[in-house]
Amino acid sequence: MTRPGLIRATTLAGLLIAALPQLCIAQTETPAETPADVHWAYSAYFGTGWYSVAGDRDVFIFRLTPQWELTEAGFEDGKRRLGWHLKTPVSTGLDRFEIDDVLGAVDLDNVAFMSINPGVDLEIPVNSIWSLRPYASFGYGSVFKSSEYAWSYWAGIKSRVALHTSPRANWYLVNNAGYVGYTPNKGDSDKFWPFSTGLEVNHPMGSVSADSSQWLLHWNLDYTFFGDDVLFSRSVKMSQEFADQWELGAAIGKRDAPIKIWFLKFDRLGLGYRSSSNGDLQGITFIFRSSFER
């Protein structure tokens, strides 16, 4: 990214953080209990998707993550080149969401919260098959129609190892160890320590097209242990906790080019199914990138 581009990206993140409290205060009517059963302060970390907690209530979280590649990771003339990435995840959630009445949930009055979590990733190529990716993010979020707000943050390191590469299929082992937490203006802070491991596989679909691009089918299977039980609800009626999560996903993408839809670009497009081992958490998530780059 050019210096002016970096300045614009940094300025945008700063303006959004500065404006968010005023936006939420402007919509305040009366103090309200936190509306989301999937705790809203964790929304940016868990990402876009539909989640159901203990079958009691469905919620939908939407996260838009603009990302700028400042430098590309790799090796040049025998020298290691680090890859710097700037991210600005903006998340919002719906207070009420029923999977059998999606259109009924599309209402501005149904928007429960908003948060922004600027962060940076550093990709470190260790050798030709192994890369590390330390990451950190810090942000602010607030509940609409309420005086509640929270600072949320996470940091950690990811690892990706190419187990097997060939024209027919590529296999990768992706691991992640991190820390995720939030500090609200009301109530106690909370945290968990996610450790995940998973396999990612991609293989060609059909022949090379006229524009020399090759479509790929991506699969992923991930397991995440949260260290501490994650509390996904502080409502009076229920308080559900779970200690882990499984994800099985599939997506399509191009080998050497992004998928373009209007002005948006995606590395891949797909869906994943998530579930805790005790079954209290279930959800459908949207997949736009490898878990190594999310």
What integer pLDDT is reported at residue 110 of this predicted model?
65
What would the pLDDT profile of 70-109 be if each residue is shown by its tens digit? Answer: 999 999 888 999 999 999 989 888 766 555 555 455 555 6
Integer Cα distance of 152 and 198 in angstroms: 26
Q: How many domains does the structure of the chain reveal?
A: 1
Cβ pair 63, 48 in contact under 8 A: yes
Q: What percent of the chain has pLDDT over 90?
A: 42
What integer pLDDT is reported at residue 189 of this predicted model?
85
Integer Cα distance of 294 and 65 in angstroms: 9
What integer pLDDT is reported at residue 18 of this predicted model?
45
Whether residue 14 is predicted with pLDDT greater than 60 in this model: the reply is no
H or E segment to which residue 7 belongs: helix 3-26
Integer Cα distance of 186 and 232 in angstroms: 16
Position 196 in a domain: yes
Position 151 in a domain: yes
Instruction: Please choose, from the candidates 233, 198, 239, the residue with its C-alpha nearest in 3D space to the C-alpha of residue 219.
Output: 198
Cα–Cα distances in Å, from 58 out to 72, 97, 108, 204?
Answer: 39, 5, 17, 36
Length of the chain counted residue by residue = 294
Over residues 15-32, the mean pLDDT reads 43
Task: Name 84's Cβ contacts closer than 8 Å, sequence gap at least 6.
Answer: 69, 70, 71, 120, 121, 122, 123
Position 293 in a domain: no
Position 292 in a domain: no
| Amino acid, res. 129 | I
Position 44 in a domain: yes
Confidence of residue 224 (pLDDT cuts 50, 70, 90): very high
Structural domain of 80: 3-287
Instruction: Please choose, from the candidates 229, 226, 252, the residue with its C-alpha nearest in 3D space to the C-alpha of residue 242.
Output: 229
pTM above 0.95, yes or no: no
Q: What is the CATH number of the domain that holds 135?
A: 2.40.160.40
What integer pLDDT is reported at residue 25 of this predicted model?
40
Question: Quick one: residue 40, left, alpha or beta (phi over 0 = left, psi -120 to 50 = alpha)?
Answer: alpha
> DSSP label at 42?
G
Write out the two tokens for 241: 């906790």
Integer Cα distance of 59 and 92 in angstroms: 11
What would the pLDDT profile of 29-47 be if each residue is shown by its tens digit? Answer: 433 444 444 466 777 787 8
Position 294 in a domain: no
Task: Name 4's Cβ contacts closer than 8 Å, sequence gap at least 6.
Answer: none
Position 218 in a domain: yes
Position 220 in a domain: yes
